[in-house]
């Protein structure tokens, strides 16, 4: 007897096989004829499988007739063709073993639909719902595509550190890692906390981006990517910010900004294409239950070419749009989600790559544009904006000229000594190079149409929330 997953047992090819399969009860319905229909799900697919349990099974009266949603069971029996709607197969049970019941009085996931807000309080049970199962399967498919894409293009996956001393984005949004006793930390003569006596002998933090370390490896090995958790202590309670999120960051030596744009476009097309091909059942669910524009939005990604628009032109479009924005737009301002959504949802109606942003709103490492107007200095930054989410990718060509880099660092009040190794990459065999970061959760939001980022990661970390 083979152990089968629900998704395998649902395939017509499984008809006739004797199988063993386990999962959690979604519903039970008793027929007048003295038998029961039990729908079970094991997370392998959105769809359940129907089990028919006969009244003459030895535990029928004592256990099977009391099975309620959330109970866990193992069924042995034969897969048969089913005449039921939406199912090719069903299981005729020879035995049903009950592992654990779930008291219907107290089990939170009853048949009625719960809001996503409510489900966030049950992070330990929400993966058992249709929506979270589908999100996690799609999230997993996206991760697989990320690795497949880069591996097939001969990128090396480089593991950059989680604990670091450098603030890549220069925004001061780092979580400090410390073993010092907060009630009584060692202090220097000036009364400041003395990090020299901490675990690493200096202040250290959770990384906000693996980019700077990624540049080290790209400028030796050519094409690399990092993929792992990153952390931002930004106190923004929005539907697209997390304190802990996953980022994939390719970095490529000898790439200019336009190469970087092409890489980002090919990369996003590949992921979306894979999901549309392989996650049909889950994607139909998102289309029907979450957002009926989901599939059309994704087909624009695989079908069309991404528009490439200079920041200055985007500002003009926004200024002329006649829209009333909460945050006013003018050249030099950072774009807010509402602006990004106007551009992608109403103006271009497709993903857009904005580039050449004002130098003042971008980090020190981006390459300065020599041909910019003197009163409007810009850097070779690029953001990929998508309908529904806004920015999903941020990247740039990196400043490879030591003098320009150091001038930018001074402008931004950075301590040059702390970046000595980053500067040496420009002193020893410097090369043009570029890269970008894709926020995994924003990508999952874009692909599924889920509106809140807290609902596309198993355990969302947001201000005031790190329970489990
Ligand atoms: O634009 P960001 O800040 O760029 C960087 O970190 C660069 N060092 C990347 C690089 O060039 N290698 O972040 C990149 C992406 C954003 O476009 C967004 O998708 C995501 O990371 N992101 C967040 N996702 C969730 N919660 C947050 N707080 C995020 N901050 C950024
Ligand atoms: Mg950004």
DSSP at 195: G
CA dist 122 and 136 (Å) reads: 16
Q: Among all ligands shown, which has an atom nearest to the Cα of 209?
A: 1
Residue written as tokens 């942003």? 357
DSSP 336-396: PHHHHHIIIIIISSS-EEEEEEEGGGS-TTBPBPTTS-TTS-EEEEEEEEETTTEEEEEEE
Of 458, 439, 460, 445, residue with least CA distance to 227: 439
Q: Which residues surround ligand 2, an ion (CB under 5 A)?
A: 394
pLDDT of residue 111: 73
Is residue 432 a contact partner of residue 444, using CB atoms and an 8 Å limit? no
391 Cα: distance to centroid of ligand 2 (angstroms): 7
Q: Which two tokens stand for residue 331?
A: 């050249």
Q: Which two tokens stand for residue 442?
A: 């924003």
Is the distance from the beta carbon of residue 209 to the nearest atom of ligand 1 less than 6 Å? Answer: yes
Q: Which two tokens stand for residue 223?
A: 């094409």
Tens-place pLDDT, residues 183-213:
999 999 999 999 889 999 999 999 999 999 9
Burial of 152 (0-12, 13-18, 19+ CB in 10 A): exposed
Say how many C-beta atoms besides its own lie within 10 A of residue 256's C-beta. 14
pLDDT-derived band at 372 (thresholds 50, 70, 90) equals: very high
CA dist 85 and 295 (Å) reads: 24
CA dist 468 and 459 (Å) reads: 7
- Nearest ligand 1 atom to the CA of 393 is 17
CA distances 4 to 19, 91, 134, 206, Å, are: 6, 11, 20, 42
pLDDT-derived band at 467 (thresholds 50, 70, 90) equals: confident
Tens-place pLDDT, residues 4-36:
999 999 999 999 999 999 999 999 999 999 999
What is the length of the chain? 468
pLDDT of residue 152: 98
Is residue 289 a contact partner of residue 131, using CB atoms and an 8 Å limit? yes
- Give the list of residues 6+ apart from residue 64 with CB closer than 8 angstroms, or none: 28, 36, 38, 53, 57, 96, 98
Residue written as tokens 């719960």? 114
Query: E-assigned strands of 106-243?
Result: 156-157, 163-164, 176-177, 204-206, 223-231
Tens-place pLDDT, residues 113-150:
899 999 999 999 999 999 999 999 999 999 999 999 99
CA dist 342 and 159 (Å) reads: 37
CA dist 249 and 107 (Å) reads: 41
Phi-psi category of residue 449: left, alpha or beta, with phi > 0 → left and psi -120 to 50 → alpha = left
pLDDT above 80 for 172: no
Best substitution site from 214, 247, 363, 389 to test ligand 1's pocket, by max atoms within 8 Å of Cβ?
Answer: 247
Is the distance from the beta carbon of residue 167 to the nearest atom of ligand 1 less than 6 Å? Answer: no
Give ipTM to 2 decimals.
0.99
Percentage of the chain beyond pLDDT 70 is 100
CA dist 250 and 351 (Å) reads: 20
For residue 321, the number of C-alpha atoms closer than 13 Å in the C-beta half-sphere is: 23
Tens-place pLDDT, residues 326-362:
999 999 999 999 999 999 999 999 899 999 999 999 9
pTM of the predicted model as reported, rounded to 2 decimal places:
0.96
Q: Which two tokens stand for residue 63?
A: 């256990």
Is the distance from the beta carbon of residue 242 to the nearest atom of ligand 1 less than 6 Å? Answer: yes
Is the distance from the beta carbon of residue 442 to the nearest atom of ligand 1 less than 6 Å? Answer: yes
Q: Among all ligands shown, which has an atom nearest to the Cα of 240?
A: 1
Q: Which two tokens stand for residue 327?
A: 């945050």
334 Cα: distance to centroid of ligand 2 (angstroms): 10
The structural domains of the chain, ordered by start, are 2-100 (2.40.50.140), 128-157+240-455 (3.30.930.10)
């Amino acid at each position: 007897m083979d152990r089968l997953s629900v998704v395998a047992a649902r395939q017509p090819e499984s008809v006739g096989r004797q199988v063993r399969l386990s999962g959690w009860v979604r519903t039970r319905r008793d027929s007048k004829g003295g038998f029961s229909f039990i729908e079970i799900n094991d997370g392998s697919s959105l769809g359940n499988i129907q089990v028919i349990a006969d009244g003459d099974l030895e535990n029928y009266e004592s256990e099977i007739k009391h099975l309620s949603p959330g109970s866990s069971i193992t069924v042995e029996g034969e897969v048969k063709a089913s005449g039921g709607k939406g199912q090719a197969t069903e299981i005729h049970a020879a035995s049903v073993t009950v592992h654990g019941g779930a008291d219907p009085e107290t089990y939170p996931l009853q048949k009625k639909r719960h809001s996503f807000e409510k489900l966030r309080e049950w992070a330990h049970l929400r993966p058992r719902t249709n929506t979270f199962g589908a999100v996690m399967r799609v999230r997993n498919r996206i991760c697989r595509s990320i690795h497949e894409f880069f591996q097939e293009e001969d990128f090396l996956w480089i593991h950059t550190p989680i604990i670091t001393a450098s603030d890549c984005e220069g925004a001061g949004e780092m979580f400090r890692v410390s073993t010092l006793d907060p009630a009584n930390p060692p202090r220097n003569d000036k009364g400041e906390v003395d990090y020299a006596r901490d675990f690493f002998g200096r202040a250290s933090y959770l990384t906000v981006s693996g980019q700077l370390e990624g540049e080290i490896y790209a400028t030796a090995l050519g094409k690399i990517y990092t993929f792992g958790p990153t952390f931002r202590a930004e106190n923004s309670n929005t539907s697209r910010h997390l304190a802990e999120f996953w980022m994939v960051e390719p970095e490529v030596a000898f790439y200019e900004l336009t190469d970087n744009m092409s890489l980002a476009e090919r990369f996003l097309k590949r992921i979306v294409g894979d999901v549309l091909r392989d996650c049909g059942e889950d994607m139909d669910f998102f289309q029907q239950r979450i957002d009926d524009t989901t599939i059309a939005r994704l087909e624009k990604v695989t079908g069309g070419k991404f528009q490439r628009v200079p920041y200055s032109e985007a500002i003009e479009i926004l200024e002329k749009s006649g829209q009333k924005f909460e945050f006013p737009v003018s050249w030099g301002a950072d774009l807010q989600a509402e602006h990004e959504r106007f551009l992608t949802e109403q103006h271009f109606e497709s993903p857009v790559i904005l580039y050449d942003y004002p130098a003042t709103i971008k980090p020190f490492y981006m390459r300065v544009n020599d041909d910019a107007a003197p009163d409007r200095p810009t850097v070779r930054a690029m953001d990929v904006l998508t309908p529904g989410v806004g920015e999903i990718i941020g990247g740039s060509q990196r400043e490879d000229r030591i003098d320009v880099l150091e001038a930018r660092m001074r402008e931004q009040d950075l301590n040059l000594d702390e970046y000595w190794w980053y500067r040496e990459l420009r002193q020893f065999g410097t090369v043009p190079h570029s890269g970008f970061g894709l926020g995994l959760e924003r990508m999952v939001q874009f692909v599924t149409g889920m509106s809140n980022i807290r609902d596309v990661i198993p355990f969302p970390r947001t201000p005031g929330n790190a329970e489990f």
